[in-house]
Chains A and B, each alone.
Chain A
Amino acid sequence: MTQISHRVSGLRAGTLTLIGACGLALAGCSGETPASDETGAAVLAEPASDPVPELLDDTDGMETVDDALEDTGLAGIFEGNASYTLLAPDDASFAALGDGGKALTDGEDEAAMAALLKQHLLPGYLMPRDIESAIERSDEDSVTITSLAGEDLTFRRNGDAITVTAPDGAEATFKGEALAGGASVAIPVSGLLRKAES
């Protein structure tokens, strides 16, 4: 299967035209990636060979979370067989912590950063579409996924976006394109899933 060689950097939610074009490209532009199987079910595109941290490194607005993965050593979990899904907060989400949050982002409290990242890590390979599909089928219009930090995160649709809510009320919203690399996925989000007082 041929890997698609282009990407759209800096994509933002709401840019429907770009998203649509990209989606169409993913599904069919290569000419070799099947869009659906004989039943009509959508077929996944193949993940990149680069692990998730490297994909984040190449993505605009994801520098902080990428650095955090490297500094805490959690980048290593993306190099093996195990699958994880990272709800990857964008740089603006960390910047919103203000000066007090610099202790987190500057590496002063890496244990705290590792704990924060665990809250954004989910077991397995979760595509946004998997989550949306499950929400649609849910009687409650929401689904729950337990994070690697052991907390139940609630996913809901909010207009055109999917939002994630942590038990403490912290909320993040899917944005941009998911990055699939190696055995894992990163879904860019806006917002941190832990309320922080610094």
Chain B
Amino acid sequence: MRQAQTILAGTVAGLALVAGAALAQPGNGNGNGKGNGGGNGGGPPAAQERGNGGGNGGGGPGNNGGNKGAGPAKAQNRGGGPDRSAGNGQGNGGGKGPGGGGQHARADKGPQGNGRGGPGNGNGGGNGNAIAKGPGNGPARGNGNGNGGGGGGGNGKAPPMAGAPGNGNSDARLRGNAHPSNVAHRPERGDIRRVNYSGPGGRDFIVPTNDRVRVLTRDRTIDWGRIDRRRVYDGCPPGLAKKYNGCTPPGLDRGPRRSWSRPDWYWSGFNRGGNYRYLDGYMVRMGSGSSILDYIPLLAGALAIGNVWPGSYDSVAMPDYYNSYYGLGGGNSYRYYDDTLYRVNPGSSRIDSIAGLLMGSDIAVGQPMPRGYDVYNVPYGYRDQYYDTPDALYRYSDGYIYQLDPTSRMVQAAIELLV
């Protein structure tokens, strides 16, 4: 069996164990919160601070599965709508989470106790920053600290690491006051230069930079609006005229038999006003009877590995950066169609492999990030350089990491990944 590194999915409990309490020993640790948050200023009463509160853990015996920690981490300060004022308000909340660590992770529920294992102790410390969100006069930033201490005899099932300190975390419902980074990242690399850039409106921002990236702070990385991403070809698809006696496949005028015979199986919101059906690796538009008016070749259908790319199919030149990032091998060695990059044999035009799928999101520096990027998704190799902080968010799409303003979600920079 190949060696494989496994990472938890599945249950929230499992996630929590990895998230912040990875070294936690059986049980132990109750959380109590102590947090400070921004809260000055004259915002409307309804302004709701996100975040605040950390967790302090009071010790307790951790038997049979840890402790959920004390204190509501969902501290809410109301009334402050400050203008980026550093927060001073006290927020207290016990969290579900035992101890600190600052991450959002939920309480360490601990393993099932079984009477084995040595005593475990949980301690945690955390620091957090809050970004207030609300109809106030601007974002407030606060800071919170959480500490957790736990003690007690643990009886969990994790004896191999008995004796190691446990770490707990305050609950994520701190909503923004968790940690300088809310995401799982790697230890920061040592070659990072923090370069100051001037953005739209003269607002400066800093991008972590080094020799393995190139930072772009203007315009679009690629203007998808100028690209015919899914050209429709007139007439009968190659080879089908002969196969179907003049391109009139029998039965095509009947309704689609299967869900995947319809165009919406292939493209969200497909609306070309036509009567499209799936046929032999194409989406074809029917005219009268079973005649075919035009067609779209499909990935893994007409455009399957081993097929020859028809000379009549246009391709689109991608930016040079894509050539290197996706390993396309030069302009004659790839084809682009319908958000898919195909590697082809330069001589025979045979499709050799699929080099990449693209989102084709219209992302432009100075414009808000499109919806659909709610979650930190930076590749593993760059998580030691780009991770969400109160000052910047990072999102990946089509070979670029985009730096966003955390409040406005405005794209500040597009970062090319050179290594």
* A residues neighboring B (CB under 8 Å): 3-5, 7-8, 11-14, 16-17, 19-24, 26-29, 34-37, 39-48, 50, 54-55, 58, 71-74, 76-77, 80-85, 100, 103-104, 109-116, 118, 121-134, 136-139, 143-146, 148-152, 155, 157, 159-162, 167, 174-181, 183, 185, 187-188, 194-198
A116 to B262, CA, bound (A): 13
Task: Give the CA-CA distance A7 to B7 in the complex, in Å.
Answer: 9
Return chain A residues, CB-CB under 8 Å to B351.
Answer: 73
Residue of B nearest to A114 (CB): B300
CB of B18 within 8 A of CB of A27, answer yes
4 closest A-B pairs by beta carbon, nearest first, are A124-B377, A27-B22, A146-B372, A111-B301
What is the chain A residue whose CB lies nearest that of B11? A160
A interface secondary structure, majority: mixed
- Give the residues in chain B near A41, CB-CB below 8 Å: 20, 101-103, 179-181, 184-185
Task: From A39, A74, A159, give the contact of B180 (CB < 8 A).
Answer: A39
Determine if B196 is an interface residue (Cβ-Cβ < 8 Å): no
Interface assignment of B304: CB less than 8 Å from any CB of chain A: yes
Residues of A within 8 A of B171 (CB): 136
**Other-chain residue from B5, B184, B265 in contact with A47 (beta carbon distance below 8 A):** B5
**Of A11, A34, A40, A196, which is within 8 A of B100 by CB?**
A40
Total residues of chain B contacting the partner, CB 8 A: 112
Q: B327 is contacted by which of A3, A12, A81 (Cβ under 8 Å)?
A: A81
Residue of A nearest to B281 (CB): A111
Q: Is the CB of A181 within 8 A of B187?
A: no
CB distance from A49 to the nearest CB of B (A): 9
Which residue on chain B has the smallest CB distance to residue A72? B300
Contact A116 B376 (CB under 8 A): no
Contacts of B125 in A (CB 8 A): 40
| Cβ–Cβ < 8 Å partners of A104 in chain B | 260
Q: How does the 8 Å CB contact mask read for B208-250 relative to A, with 1 for contact and 0 for none?
A: 0000000000000000000000000000000000000000000
